[in-house]
Amino acid sequence: MVITIGCKYHLLHEEAERRRPLTANRRPIPRSSMASSGGPHSSCSVRGMSEPVHRALGLTDDEAEQIDTILGRQANHLELAMFSVMWSEHCSYKSSRIHLKRLPTEAPWVLVGPGENAGVVDVGDGIAVAIRIESHNHPSAIEPYQGAATGAGGILRDIFTMGARPIALMDPLRFGPLDDPRSRWIAEGVVSGISGYGNSVGVPTVGGETVFDATYTGNPLVNVLCVGVLPVDRLVLGQASGVGNVAVLLGSATGRDGIGGVSVLASAGFDDNDTDKRPSVQVGDPFEEKRLIEACLELLDAKLVVGIQDLGGAGLACATSETASRGGVGMDVDVSAIPRREQGMEPFEVMTSESQERMLAIVEPGDLEAVLAICDKWEVRAAVIGTVTPGIENSDGGRLRIVDPDAGVLADVPAAALHDEAPLYDRPRQAPAGFDEVARVGPSSGPMPGCDDPAGDLLNLLCDPVVGVSPVRPSVVPQYRGRARR
């Protein structure tokens, strides 16, 4: 069933009605208390159907029960929103991790493997290379230009958050047939989005491939790869450490764009009403990204950052929980201190917004003034939004708490539960009908057939939209800038 993203999160506006402090003597108001029907879970109308809140957010009944078990109580709406985005396919890889674990990831030259923002390998002479590839398929199917552009922006941030300067992009792309108007519209928008963002930031797209096939009609594959270089001694990880250190949010203000965005769209289906999902596609600003790159690299060169994490899918819910979990610590986040570009935003909107061009830096209090000065130099907004708290070695440590000075504690969850405890699924799988593994990998059973019309075969090859000269292909390559510029 297709869920309208806006309706998924509409119920959570009720959070404003129920924000009261969580104390040792008071359990948070459970989501069931908000249900008008008096059922076990609150419900909303989704495409004419009554849905419990956790289902409307994309969580299964078993996942909702698992969350309640982790918390030892029923999760409130803000906590459910955070779990829903962190346990989505995009953020948790809950359906693909079982297969990805089969890939080799260790070698003497591998400095950073899976679990961080990008892989890093030592190439000698004190130089390392950071590499990351990621897809932005579903957002690009909804809004091709912004979906692809923000995919490029996100992959750039994954690279420079490791301390590397991005130097090149590549984009293997798959679209439906060119004679399908929607597929052609998606292809043109995606190419424009990747080239527009990369060109504006000054990172060239040096290679890629474009394939058109009916398999991808309505559901393109939009992959973007980025490569960056760094001195080995500038390598930094996305983890928080040092109780009392402060969490500083860098970059753009937080808005409603991207709420329930890539983290939810990655798990959603499409139909003729998919324009309803356009508010969930993020909007990028490559010029803000360029300033953010330079500010972050200067901060890292000056050794002013203990850890740093980019904000992409799941926004602050992801960045705060991942940095705390990786460092084995907790974090208190003051939701009222987060800069916003829109009035009246609720805590669930602030924590799950996927507004682009943002980074979370962990900074020692004594270095804060220097950090703010560098950000001011590059005209990058910076705000202290949280504090690192004791870790899992304490009986009540390792918690991610979302607080408000006026309303108290709005959410209180183990940081590792959001980051590491998503369920792992082994989905049913089978070979396609008519699949012949021997024919696919075995030797040819005989010589290649002869060619009776070489000129005709060559003409057909040139006209093939995949390998030949297609009407759209001449417009692809010229859009990409071939050299980096600073």
Q: How far apart are CA 356 and CA 378, in angstroms?
A: 17
Which among 318, 336, 332 has a CA at the least distance from the CA of 412?
332
What tokens does 325 get?
Answer: 């979990």
Pick the catalytic residue from 41, 136, 138, 419: 136
Closest CA to 139 of 55, 310, 264: 264
Tokens of 119: 């892989």
> Is 136 a catalytic site residue?
yes
**Around Cβ 341, how many Cβ atoms within 10 Å?**
13
- Which of 414, 425, 407, 385 lies closest to 82 in space, CA to CA? 414
Bridge partner residues of 209 (DSSP): 172
Q: Judging by beta carbons within 10 Å of its beta carbon (0-12, 13-18, 19+), is residue 397 exposed, middle or buried?
A: middle
CA nearest to 391, candidates 323, 330, 333: 330
**How many CB atoms sit inside 10 A of residue 14's CB?**
16
Task: Return the structure tokens found at 275.
Answer: 């324009």
Give the separation between CA 361 and CA 384, rounded to whole angstroms.
9
d(CA 319, CA 187): 31
Maximum distance among all alpha carbons in the chain?
86
Rounded Cα distance, 460 and 482, in Å: 30
Question: Can 77 be counted among the known catalytic residues?
Answer: no
CA atoms within 13 A on the CB side of 120: 28
Cα 364 from Cα 306, distance rounded (Å)? 7
Residue with token string 């994490």:
309
Contacts 24+ apart (CB under 8 A), 416-421: 416/321, 416/325, 416/392, 417/67, 417/70, 417/71, 417/83, 418/82, 418/83, 418/86, 418/87, 418/317, 418/318, 418/321, 418/325, 419/86, 419/321, 419/322, 419/324, 419/325, 419/326, 420/325, 421/70
CA distances from 442 to 117, 209, 437 (A): 38, 27, 8
The catalytic residue among 41, 77, 90, 419 is: 90
SS3 of residue 78 by DSSP: helix
R_g (Cα) of the chain, nearest Å? 24
Active site residues: 90, 136
